[in-house]
Structure 1
Amino acid sequence: MKKTISIVLSAVLALGVLAGCGAKTPTPTTAPTAAPTAAPTTPAATGFAKIGLGLVTSIAKSKDVDPEKGATAQVDTVMVAAAFDKDGKVLSVIIDNAQTKVAYDKDMKLTSDVAAPIKTKLELGNDYGMKAATTIGKEWFEQAEALGDWMVGKTVAEVKALKVKVKDDSHKNVPDVPELTSLVTITVEDYIKGLEKAYANAQEVKEGAVKLGLGQGVSIAKSKGEDGEKGATAQVDTTIVVTALDKDGKVAGTIIDVAQTKVAYDVDGKVTSDKTAVVKSKQELGADYGMKAASKIGKEWFEQANALAAWTVGKSVADVTGMKVLEGKSDDADLKTSVTVSVQGYLDAFKEAAEKSK
């Protein structure tokens, strides 16, 4: 019996030694080979395949004149800049919102300072003032960043499938998933729509892009008050530039767009613009913007903006922002036959995008 037990123990020990030896030989199923599956969500490891910009603009909150308070035209332009990998997964997202108001008195005379700088919600930071009013004690920019972080690693379809709930009449699409309930209480419908549009409009970028930036400039300078014959018109021009940079700070891709939005009033101070209509940017309008006929080079706005964007690729940020400009227009020899629009606003937005890229 003892001999039998001894034989069995010897066999077990022998198998243990063989198993130990076998573990030293890597196989295709060992842990080290699984690590690359996480790479697509790491921009520094893979680089961007495409970048996109999605804009969602609304004038729905504009108000008719009140005999005591006057009138307010409000233009809300949601901006979503995003980078994607070759499989369409989100690698980086920047969300912003230009909530711009143009004020009139009871006689529909313009009271807003049309020369004053206008900041977006992201630029306002803590000054936006949401933190005190929210149940989670987080400012708008913190919530927007948390939502963007949640999008990373997902496809657009997965983002669109986010479960939401109604919080109140002003917040009908608030995230209802455990990972976001303590981080995001803002309504997210337009931000998701912006991401969807960014993917639909996405453009390929030069290999090696790892940083994404969003810059903008907002102006109400072209707004007008009532003149006795014509009603007032509030005009909000929001310039947006998205750029991607490689590890050396060279431009790998750039997108330029402008949301030129008008809110028209009649002589009685009532809004005549359709507040439910879809508002298109200049890029979305394409040939319908109507610049080609008036252009001395016969090119539409989007063609000129795209030519300027293409010119930035391969250059350093300093090379782009150092472009020779004459009376607001490009004086670069390579752009004389392709860009005659004023470029200073685009260069300013590009500079901001590059400086804030991450």
Structure 2
Amino acid sequence: MKKLLSLLLALVLVFSLVACSDKGTETKSETKTETAGEAGKETAKEAETSAAIEKIALGTSVSLKSSKDSTAQKDVTIAALALDAEGKIVKAHIDVAQSKFKVKEDGTFEVAPESAEFKTKHELKDDYGMKKASGIEKEWFEQAKGFEDYIIGKTIDEVVAIETKPSEDGSHPNVPAEADLLATTTIDIGSFQKAVADAANHTKEAKGAEKLGLAVKTALGHGTTPAQDGKSANVQFESNISVTALDKDGKVVAALIDTAQNSVPFGEDHKVSSELKAEGTTKKKLGAEYGMKETSAKIGKIKDGGEWFEQVEGLENHLVGKTKDEISSIELAEGKPAEGTDLVATTTITITDLQEATVKSFDNVK
């Protein structure tokens, strides 16, 4: 009897071990399958983002504002994109050059225009200070990155078609309505979509490029003047934007450069209406309307003069094949290409800030 019981116990033990072994195998198998699935998703995403760059694009959306304390403000939303052969976004930079400058009650300035410093929202990082109000504990630059990541693999038309809705308090008309995007981005994306849409109109071939760089240098223009001699104050913002496509050796394959030069005028009471809300533009978009060809012709260095957009295209072409150090070393005289250089044949405009922005773009690449 004892032998029979011992035999039965032994059989139970064997079956238990087999069952446990099968369960362990099943669990490992499931884990491997899940891991393979996740890896597959990652591989698909990597393949999507590593597609060859065919073109780069630069789009902007510009708005002008003023506050009740007589602070002039300009917001330039910038979309720098790299596109593949199918027009899908491979890489994306989204940034906003939000610049503010205060005019005192007597029409003079608190800060000398040449001393004013401006940073983009991306450059401000945590100092922008919207994390607590975001609802998802994310700062502006983190939310912008969420949008950048979300549009990878999409076409420009698909980005423009992203569904939006008004915020709960009604203060922002275009917050994401799509749950996947809303999880990372709760800010208004209306200006993002406008800038991306505009980018479709400003593209350039960039075959062989592997990285996309963007930088912005904002300063106050020569049109910034305090109230004097019976004239009211004026604040002129100049945001110089440079997008560069770089090859594996860090040389420029293609470049897109533009300047958003816009003014906020003040009245005789040294204030700007708090209702001011105008759309701004860029020098490239103005084209021949910018009106510098006649002045350029008088200088006599460029055949038929050369409008601003034509001269900046000369600069863009001059950058191709150059490294960061070579661009930094472009010889200038009073901010303009120096006599005797190849660049002066196409470009006689002041390029100091454009050069600085281009050099900076090498340090901000994707």
1:39 Cα deviation from its structure 2 partner: 7.7
1:248 Cα deviation from its structure 2 partner: 1.3
1:322 Cα deviation from its structure 2 partner: 1.6
1:211-251 CA distance string (max 9 Å, x none): 00111111125322211511110111110000000111111
Counterpart mapping for 1:81-230 below 5 A: 81-114=80-113, 115-167=115-167, 168-205=169-206, 207-220=207-220, 222=222, 223-230=224-231
Matched residues in 2 for 1:245 and 1:36: separation? Answer: 24
From 326, 342, 346, the counterpart of 1:334: 342
1:30 maps to which residue?
Answer: none
From 348, 351, 356, the counterpart of 2:359: 351
Q: Is the 8 A contact 2:79 2:195 kept in 1?
A: yes
Q: Taking structure 1 as the reference length, what is the TM-score of the superposition?
A: 0.83
The count of aligned residue pairs is 315
Identity of aligned residues (%): 38
Q: Is the 8 A contact 1:228 1:267 kept in 2?
A: no
Q: Is the 8 A contact 1:265 1:273 kept in 2?
A: no
1:51 equivalent to 2:51? Answer: no
Q: Is the 8 A contact 1:40 1:91 kept in 2?
A: no
- Structure 1 residues 39 and 72: alpha-carbon distance in aligned structure 2, compared to 1, 3 A threshold: closer
Q: Partner letter of residue 98 of structure 2?
A: Q
- Structure 1 residues 39 and 140: alpha-carbon distance in aligned structure 2, compared to 1, 3 A threshold: closer
Q: Which runs of 5+ in 2 are unaligned?
A: 1-41
1:84-124 CA distance string (max 9 Å, x none): 11211111110111111110122222123421321111110
Matched residues in 1 for 2:95 and 2:291: separation? Answer: 28
Q: Partner letter of residue 328 of structure 1?
A: G
- Structure 1 residues 221 and 304: alpha-carbon distance in aligned structure 2, compared to 1, 3 A threshold: closer
1:313 equivalent to 2:308? Answer: no
1:272 Cα deviation from its structure 2 partner: 7.4
1:275 Cα deviation from its structure 2 partner: 3.7
1:238-270 CA distance string (max 9 Å, x none): 100000001111111001100001011121234
Q: Which runs of 5+ in 1 are unaligned?
A: 1-34, 65-69
Matched residues in 1 for 2:47 and 2:329: separation? Answer: 35
- Structure 1 residues 40 and 339: alpha-carbon distance in aligned structure 2, compared to 1, 3 A threshold: farther
- Structure 1 residues 288 and 355: alpha-carbon distance in aligned structure 2, compared to 1, 3 A threshold: same
2:295 maps to which residue?
Answer: 294
Q: Partner letter of residue 166 of structure 2?
A: V
Q: Partner letter of residue 325 of structure 2?
A: A
Matched residues in 2 for 1:37 and 1:126: separation? Answer: 32
Matched residues in 1 for 2:48 and 2:288: separation? Answer: 37
Matched residues in 1 for 2:67 and 2:225: separation? Answer: 16
1:288-308 CA distance string (max 9 Å, x none): 101100012211111110100
Matched residues in 1 for 2:273 and 2:171: separation? Answer: 24
Matched residues in 1 for 2:46 and 2:221: separation? Answer: 46
Where has structure 1 moved over 4 Å in runs of 4 or more?
Answer: 35-40
Q: Partner letter of residue 363 of structure 2?
A: E
**What secondary structure, in the 3-state scheme, does the structure 1 residue paired with 2:200 have?**
helix
Q: Is the 8 A contact 1:58 1:275 kept in 2?
A: no
2:77 maps to which residue?
Answer: 78
**What secondary structure, in the 3-state scheme, does the structure 1 residue paired with 2:196 have?**
helix
From 56, 62, 66, the counterpart of 2:66: 62
Q: Partner letter of residue 312 of structure 1?
A: L
Matched residues in 2 for 1:127 and 1:39: separation? Answer: 32
